[in-house]
Amino acid sequence: MAGKRSIRDARAGRLMFFMTSACALIVVFMAAGLLIKSFPVLRANSPAQILFSDSWSPLKGEFGMLAFIAGTVWVTGLSALIAMPVSLFSAIYLSEYAPSWLRKISRPFMDVLAGIPSVVFGVWGILIIVPLVRDCIAPFFGVYSSGYSILAASIVLAVMVFPIIIQITIEVFHSIPGELRDASLSLGATKWQTIKLVLLRKALPGIIAANVLGFSRAFGETMAVLMVAGNIPAIPHSPLDAGYPLPALIANNYGEMLSIPLYDSALMLAALVLFLIVIMFNLLSRYILSRINLRAA
């Protein structure tokens, strides 16, 4: 009896190991596939040219991607700047201050928000955010903008990642034992001091993890961004300029411009670059997290 059980146990262990390695292998194969496919363009352009030049003229065989890399970084960075404080304060409000009925109804609301297809966010962006940027925000700064801009894309993206970040952050705050709050309050700390000095510290690793998860998604978000970013292959100089992030480049052109030599290879390389950006972002945040964990233990 025990023998059979231990065989089954070993078998289950092996099965799970294979599943896990299969997942890991897919990532490796994907990266390898992209790399092989982008060899042709890498032979024609040096990696430095590709990464640091902004001249994108496929017909002349020039595939500098700096404009797209800049577009991706701009859109994701700005949306992080918008989403991080708003989601942090919303999460704090909902978990620490809001009455329980509000907390309860906010949950399904955010589930719905998280489940809305990104094309719907794109349409909403075109109908609301683009005109808002064109008619209100740009004139306020005294510049002209078509509205299709880094800013519009960042706002739409921020709204898309809110529910993910808020919900995880709320979970993080919930996992903090009530006794820790009691301890701080009983020392005469106010509620805000307790949140600021004790709970935030305790929650910091979790909050970072929540944001990393949210923005890993934001980097690759294609549809909604593509619909409102403007898609002009030039390095944006302000949030009110149009931008052309990497995912939009790939989605817009794959399958259409493939008659141009090296174009498909260049798009594969764009995908690889995006892949590497996301990996670098994850590694960096992992490093930051480990430093924080070390400090807080």
Partner 1 sequence: MKETSHLRTENLTVSYGGAEALKNINVEIPEKQITAIIGPSGCGKSTLLKSFNRLLEENDGVKISGRVLVDGADIYSDSEDITCIRKKMGLLSQRPYPLPMSIYDNIAFGPRIHGMKKKAGLDRLVEKYLSLAGLWDEVKDRLNEPASRLSIGQQQRLCLARGLAVEPEIILADEPTSALDPKSSQKIEEEFKKLKSDYTIIIVTHILRQARRLADYVLFIYLGELIEHGPSRQIFESPREQVTREYIQGVIS
**C-alpha 81, offset from chain centre:** 12
**C-beta of 142 vs 178, nearer to partner 1:** 178
Min separation Cβ 108 and partner 1, Å: 20
End-to-end CA distance of the chain: 43
Query: Would you say 185 or 223 has its CB closer to partner 1?
Result: 185
Q: C-beta of 101: minimal distance to partner 1 in Å?
A: 10
- Shortest distance, position 214 Cβ to partner 1, whole Å: 23
Q: Which of 96, 79, 99 is nearest to 228 (CA)?
A: 79
Looking at the Cβ atoms of 94 and 129, the one nearer to partner 1 is 94
Enumerate binding residues for partner 1 (CB under 8 A). Answer: 99-100, 177-190, 193, 197-198, 201-202, 295-297
Those residues with Cβ within 8 angstroms of residue 151's Cβ, 6 or more apart along the chain or in another chain:
78, 133, 137, 239, 240
Task: Please list, residue by residue across 29-67, b when 16 or more beta carbons sit within 10 angstroms of its beta carbon and e when fewer do.
Answer: eeeeebeebbebbbebbeeebbeebeebebeeebbbbbb
Please identify, using beta-carbon distances, which residue of 91 and 218 lies nearer to partner 1: 91
Q: What angle do CA 278, 282, 288 make, to 5 degrees?
A: 145
Q: How far is the CB of 75 from partner 1 (least distance, A)?
A: 34
64 three-class SS? coil
Q: From the CB of 107, what's the least distance to partner 1, in Å? A: 16
Cβ closest to partner 1, residue 99 vs residue 115: 99
Residue 204 beta carbon to partner 1: minimum distance, rounded to whole angstroms: 9
Q: Which residue lies nearer to partner 1 by CB, 43 or 107?
A: 107
Residue-wise DSSP of 173-230: HHTS-HHHHHHHHHTT--HHHIIIIIIHHHHHHHHHHHHHHHHHHHHH--HHHHHHSB
